[in-house]
Structure 1
């Protein structure tokens, strides 16, 4: 049996903790953080769903319908940054890597926090898509 040092085990634990969604972290913030580790299908979306929102079983059907066939496409086509909460480039042009902390969501949801806006025209609700309502 192979023995591991305490330092090796602590390093492995840090990696595992980094890959797990934080408590109350929204899906969009988690995806934004995880995409630095690469994009392979809906791997990070399903990881989040399995660990934080197991009842969101239609995720693999809904996101492709919105143009999100992989994690990076979900961030490009399904979610976009809510400009009111992100710093403008004119205010801080040297630091484009700043990401505000997640505004938290309830456990069990795949809706984004206030930092993100979900694509308009399609809403979540009771597991079905609802068409956008038009004003007369």
Structure 2
């Protein structure tokens, strides 16, 4: 009775949209995701290669992706550059964590040494304010001496 398939005007947009098919079913447009077969490659219409900048080249060397700058090809895939950026981001995070930890340990050690010397913030602030009061008093006396 029905010779046409249920989904009549079906088109696969494989390479561009990654396996999404568009179809018209009963006058309504439908989008559905199709599973790719193992080993099948989608068509790559857009070029996913980029010329690496000087900073990109240094980053690729620092991450160990290439040994020498001469080994770096003129065009690299975006995935290779993103992977190198992620590695550098992770390394920088590790360095920042280590520096933060070292700073915390240094502050604890210096705080303990200050406690042994009985250098407290309260003592330092009272000495500083006493010095400022003395300076202000000397200024007022010298100003009073000039007016007479």
- TM bucket (normalised to shorter chain) is under 0.3
Name the larger-Rg structure. Answer: 2
Normalised by the length of structure 2, the TM-score is 0.21
State the TM-score, normalizing by the size of structure 1.
0.23
Task: Answer 1 or 2: higher relative contact order, Cα 8 Å, separation at least 6.
Answer: 1
Which has more helix, going by share of residues?
2
